[in-house]
């Protein structure tokens, strides 16, 4: 029987760049979160691919990205959600330029 490892949850202060998936930087330890008003949390699969990220502000999710990957580790789909906005879906194919 094939077992899947649960995603690992990591925390970050900020991100760099504008391409997808976002590149989170300045990793935080869980014990430093209580002193932060704003931070990012992200889940990674066993291959190190980011599955989703959330920007938390005062404990509330302000923004969320969900990522889907193909078997070769290429980003295939990103769903971007922000407060009070409709979700944006970006799909990446063989002939589509990635961000």
Q: Where are the domains of the chain?
A: 8-91
Q: What is the pLDDT of residues 49-85, one digit of tens each?
A: 999 999 999 999 999 999 999 999 999 999 999 988 9
64-72: list long-range contacts, CB under 8 Å, 24+ apart.
65/20, 65/21, 65/22, 67/20, 67/21
* Chain mean pLDDT for the chain: 91
Q: Which of 90, 6, 9 is nearest to 43 (CA)?
A: 9
Strands 38-44 and 60-69: unpaired
Distance (Å, rounded) from C-alpha 12 to C-alpha 33?
A: 9
- pLDDT of 95 over the 80 cut: no
Is the bond into 14 cis (omega within 30 degrees of 0)? no
């Amino acid at each position: 029987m094939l077992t899947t490892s649960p995603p690992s949850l990591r925390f970050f202060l900020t991100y760099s760049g504008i391409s997808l998936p976002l590149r989170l930087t300045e990793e935080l330890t869980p014990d430093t979160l209580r002193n932060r008003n704003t931070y990012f949390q992200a889940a990674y699969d066993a291959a190190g691919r980011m599955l989703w990220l959330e920007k938390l502000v005062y404990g509330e999710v302000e923004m969320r990205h969900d990522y889907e990957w193909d078997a070769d580790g290429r980003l295939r789909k990103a769903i971007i959600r922000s407060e009070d906005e409709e979700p944006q879906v970006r799909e990446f194919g063989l002939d589509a330029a990635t961000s």
